[in-house]
């Protein structure tokens, strides 16, 4: 009971009983974009298991090229909205809190499923991005690297409006806040990254101008949903085009980016990295989430390989990730104030009652990709 993991936290109107968050994980079980009873049961089980906050899988915003798989859920069709009402009611009935992660894949449209080539993917400058260390297939990379038209001013207006519509729907349905996917090379992140944003107008150029579009999306959502509900923003250094890429080479550069987001209305900075404890910059042991907190003073959330000995990318290659008890180190970092929340993905798939397991002191579950990613358990 004295563990820092089980201390309460309030973020605007959101009251959390502990610091354990279910990390967003794409599952593609929402047939034609509609979450069914199996999806409701999946999230309800984590709420029953004591997880403090559930961040849903990525949810398509109301834009034609937002996502590239028919079974990724959306928030804008009547059937999907009815499905989400059931999810929310079941999670709330189990005493849980839940927020949707709004998602636009941007340059990575077509990575999950080959899509209609007549539709233009949303790319700041028309580039997919410099190819580096990636897990994408050679066939997809060859298709994706073809340059497309850059986003127009109308495209930018349309995408901002789509984010706002989806955020409004989420609030109307009864979600407890809004999460935004702004990392991993997807649309918002592609504006931060110099490799994909080569614009020379108000939306690109120097680092400050490269923050303008993501900050505009956040500001528009904040205005639309009002002051009560929290906004969580996932950011990353790495890209799926190149796991070694960075949006910030120094803490000062990271401060420019994250400061713009917090000024626009972000409450929680969700620092996505392969391992939660990896130092973000040379000369300091601070993690990416730790730097985010130091630079902005905002609530921050870490993620990456909790209880596991392999990163997500490595475990996808090798299948099974060995159990590693790094919970004491996690507790030490939260207890010291380095960051405030921990998002846990794969162990939540392995054990729906993960929070209860952690409260009892283990044993930690083993993650097997073939078993735990194969169905909604």
Q: Which residues are catalytic?
A: 186
Torsion of CA 226, 227, 230, 235, to 10 degrees: 80
Cβ atoms of residues 367 and 320 within 8 Å: yes
267 contacts 299 by C-beta, under 8 angstroms: yes
- Whether 197 and 207 have beta carbons less than 8 Å apart is answered as no
Pairing of strands 98-103, 53-60: parallel
Q: What residues are paired with 11 via a beta bridge?
A: 14
Report residue 256 CA to chain centroid gap. Answer: 20
Is the bond preceding 363 in cis, omega lying within 30 degrees of 0?
yes
The tokens describing 82, both together, are 């009815």
> SS3 breakdown of the chain: % helix, strand, coil, rounded to 5?
40, 15, 45
The residues with which 302 forms a beta bridge, in sequence order, are 271, 342
Q: Which of 279, 336, 275 is nearest to 303 (CA)?
A: 275
Determine contact, residues 10/177, Cβ cutoff 8 Å: no
Does residue 60 sit in helix, strand or coil?
A: strand
Distances (CA, A) of 298 to 11, 163, 231: 10, 23, 11
Q: How far apart are CA 229 and CA 92, in angstroms?
A: 16
DSSP string over 215-262: HHHHHHHHHHH-SSS-EEEEEES-BSS-TT--S-SSHHHHHHHHHHHH
324 CB contacts (<8 Å, ≥6 apart)? Answer: 305, 307, 308, 309
Other beta carbons less than 10 A from residue 88's beta carbon: 22
């Amino acid at each position: 009971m004295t563990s820092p993991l089980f201390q309460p936290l309030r973020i605007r109107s959101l009251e959390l009983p502990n610091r354990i968050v279910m990390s967003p994980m794409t599952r593609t079980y929402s047939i034609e974009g509609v979450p069914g009873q199996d999806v409701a049961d999946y999230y309800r089980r984590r709420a029953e298991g004591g997880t403090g906050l559930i961040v849903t899988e990525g949810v398509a915003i109301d834009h034609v090229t937002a996502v590239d798989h028919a079974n990724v859920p959306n928030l804008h069709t009547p059937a999907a909205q009815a499905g989400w009402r059931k999810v929310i009611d079941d999670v709330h009935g189990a005493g849980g809190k839940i927020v949707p992660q709004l998602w636009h894949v941007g340059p990575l449209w077509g990575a999950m499923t080959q899509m209609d080539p007549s539709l233009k993917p949303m790319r700041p400058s028309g580039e997919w991005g410099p190819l580096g260390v990636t897990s994408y297939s050679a066939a997809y990379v060859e298709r994706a690297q073809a340059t497309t038209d850059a986003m127009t001013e109308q495209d930018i207006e349309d995408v901002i409006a789509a984010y706002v519509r989806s955020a409004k729907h989420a609030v109307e349905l009864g979600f407890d806040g809004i999460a935004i996917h702004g990392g991993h090379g997807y649309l918002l992140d592609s504006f931060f990254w110099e490799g994909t944003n080569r614009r020379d107008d108000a939306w690109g150029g120097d680092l400050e101008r490269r923050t303008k579009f993501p900050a505009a999306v956040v500001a528009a959502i904040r205005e639309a949903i009002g002051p009560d509900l929290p906004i969580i923003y996932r950011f990353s250094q790495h890209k799926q085009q190149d796991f070694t890429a960075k949006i910030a080479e120094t803490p000062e550069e990271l401060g420019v980016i994250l400061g713009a987001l917090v000024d626009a209305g972000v409450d929680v900075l969700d620092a996505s990295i392969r391992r939660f404890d990896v130092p973000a910059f040379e000369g300091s042991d601070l993690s990416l989430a730790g730097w985010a907190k130091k630079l902005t003073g905002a609530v921050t959330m870490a993620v990456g390989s909790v209880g596991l000995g392999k990163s997500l990318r490595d475990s996808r290659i090798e299948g099974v990730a060995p159990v590693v008890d790094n919970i004491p180190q996690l507790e030490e970092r939260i207890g010291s104030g380095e960051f405030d929340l921990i998002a846990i993905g794969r162990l939540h798939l392995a054990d729906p009652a993960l929070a209860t397991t952690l409260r009892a002191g283990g044993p930690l579950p083993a993650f097997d990709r073939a078993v735990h990613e194969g169905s909604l358990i």
